[in-house]
Structure 1
Amino acid sequence: MRVAILGGLLQLLLIPAFISLGLWQWNKAESKTALQASLDTRSHDAAIAMPTTPADIEALRHRRVILRGHFDASRQVLIDNRLHREQAGYHVITPLRLEGSDMHVLVNRGWLRAPADHARQPDAPVPAGEVELTGIVAAPTSRFFNLAAQPSSGWEPVWQNLDLERFRSAVAYPLQPLIVQLDAQSPGGFVREWPRPDERADRHRSYALQWFGFAVASLGIWGYFLVRKP
């Protein structure tokens, strides 16, 4: 009887924990799938001009936009530790001043392979003159981990993460609260095989089923010990 009571108390802890972890993984998969569906739908709509006034990120997320203006090569930044097909490299982020205004928008021009000597920076030339580009709007990452303390002043050409607030504080011009991922057909970019939002969604579902299986298995084991003959 004591074993049954202890087992029951243990099930009260384990089963909710397993179910909670399973639901967490399942919801992550559903969230990624929903983001992919939004991208598939909105990215096929007609492209719209990037506004020159502060934009609503939710209204523009996953929309294809048209950009006209001039790149600011002096404030280009390389985002370190970005992998592409198991190779190390950088994402090249260059601000673009929108035509007819002082508003700028950050353009991710793609992935660039890192030199064998990582102390050297790769050559990432910036198109001169006026350009016309298209790309997909993405929300900037708000949660990230820096391996080392980042400088609070001055300008560094290589960053660990793209911190939009840090970028905004380092420039004297207004900046849209979003990132534009440059289309593969647009000029002036590098490797642009952007990851899908639903990447690894199936793996999250697999993890969820495993956690649900643990809940069922623990309940079955407890039931077996309850009904077995002494």
Structure 2
Amino acid sequence: MLQIIRINLKREIVPIIAFLLVLPVLISLGFWQLDRAEQKRELQAMYDTRMSDTPVSVGARLQAPEELQFYRVAVKGYYEPAYTIFLDNRVHEGQVGYFVITPLRIDGSQTRILVNRGWVPLGADRSTIPDAPTPKGLQYVVGVATVPHAKVFRLAPPPALTSQWQSVWQHMNMQRFAEAVSFEIQPVVVLLDPQSDAGGFVRQWKRLDTGIAVHQGYAFQWFSLAVALCAIFLFFTFGRSRERGNSGKDMTS
């Protein structure tokens, strides 16, 4: 008799515990996706506000990332193609290629600033770096200053840089770049303006609020799963109560 009671209690308690554990997770994931969408919306609002301001002139003084992020900046200097980076796996209109990032030595100083000059298609194969000619002489660069996101998860650490410059990177890592060179760099990457003639390639920069609908869609899915879980739990809970009630009536009749 006691064993039967224990089995019945286990059947009752386990689903309740599972329900109480899973439901908050589903709801939290839904709100997390909504929060991600709101973050993108706020970033885009900040971007639009700062973009409307007069371009900020960048000089030799090293600045904090937040001083420059999303501002239109203007800087004069000389490209140094020996330290060009090709960011791999960048897709444009369904075709794989690279972003070309070249340091610009700011005129009258030894400080550099990185300039994303745009997208170029993949070469014949990955063993061949595509041709990305760099203009010589003094350049006037105008664009939007961005702070690359630090990648917190990697399957493996990036390969160590040797005396021979490694030009193909998977992600833009400002700290890694700073440790690999002997000069100082501003803590941002400038997205070269599409109208600029300072050695650019394909420059169709994405809006920061791109993907908000995706986050909202994921949030809807998580909340829908939470509602479905509640419906299933209530259905089986009341169903069992009804069965117990019917069993009691049968025993007394």
Q: TM-score range with shorter-chain normalisation?
A: over 0.9
Structure 1 position 109 matched with structure 2 position 109: no
Give the Å deviation of 1:122. 0.9
Q: What does the per-residue CA deviation read over 1:59-78, in whole Å, with 9 as the maximum and x for residues that have no partner? A: 21100000111111221121
Structure 1 position 80 matched with structure 2 position 83: no
The equivalent position to 1:55 in structure 2, one of 25, 46, 63, is 63
Contact preservation (8 Å) 1:94, 1:107: yes
* 1:158-169 equivalent positions in 2, closer than 5 A: 158-169=168-179
TM-score calculated relative to the size of structure 2? 0.85
Q: Which amino acid aligns with 2:222?
A: W
- In the alignment, structure 2 segments of 5+ residues that lack a partner are 1-7, 244-253
The equivalent position to 1:153 in structure 2, one of 154, 159, 162, is 162
Q: Equivalent residue for 1:18?
A: 26
Structure 1 position 135 matched with structure 2 position 143: yes
TM-score calculated relative to the size of structure 1? 0.93
Q: Equivalent residue for 1:123?
A: 131
Q: What does the per-residue CA deviation read over 1:12-46, in whole Å, with 9 as the maximum and x for residues that have no partner? A: 11111101111111111111111111111111211
* 1:207-226 equivalent positions in 2, closer than 5 A: 207-226=218-237
Contact preservation (8 Å) 1:49, 1:65: yes
The runs of 4+ residues in structure 1 deviating greater than 6 Å are: none
Separation in structure 2 between the aligned mates of residue 72 and residue 14 of structure 1, nearest angstrom: 55
Bigger radius of gyration = 2
Give the Å deviation of 1:148. 7.3
Structure 1 position 175 matched with structure 2 position 185: yes
Q: Which amino acid aligns with 1:193?
A: Q
Question: Greater shift after overlay, 47-56 or 153-162?
Answer: 153-162
Aligned length: 230
* Structure 1 counterpart SS, 2:228: helix
* Structure 2 counterpart SS, 1:122: coil
What is the alpha-carbon root mean square deviation over aligned residues?
1.7
* Structure 2 counterpart SS, 1:180: strand
Q: Equivalent residue for 1:190?
A: 201
Contact preservation (8 Å) 2:56, 2:73: yes
- In the alignment, structure 1 segments of 5+ residues that lack a partner are none
Structure 1 position 204 matched with structure 2 position 212: no
Give the Å deviation of 1:212. 1.1
Separation in structure 1 between the aligned mates of residue 173 and residue 204 of structure 2, nearest angstrom: 22
Give the Å deviation of 1:157. 2.1
Q: What does the per-residue CA deviation read over 1:154-213, in whole Å, with 9 as the maximum and x for residues that have no partner? A: 211222222222221222211111111100011110011112222211111111111111
Taking structure 1 as reference, are residues 159 and 34 closer, same or farther at Cα in structure 2, changes over 3 Å only?
Answer: same
Question: Greater shift after overlay, 198-207 or 150-159?
Answer: 150-159
Q: Equivalent residue for 1:94?
A: 102
Q: Percent identity?
A: 40
Give the Å deviation of 1:216. 1.6
Q: Equivalent residue for 2:53?
A: 45
Richer in helix (by share): 2
Contact preservation (8 Å) 1:92, 1:110: yes
Separation in structure 1 between the aligned mates of residue 12 and residue 59 of structure 2, nearest angstrom: 66
Contact preservation (8 Å) 1:146, 1:161: no
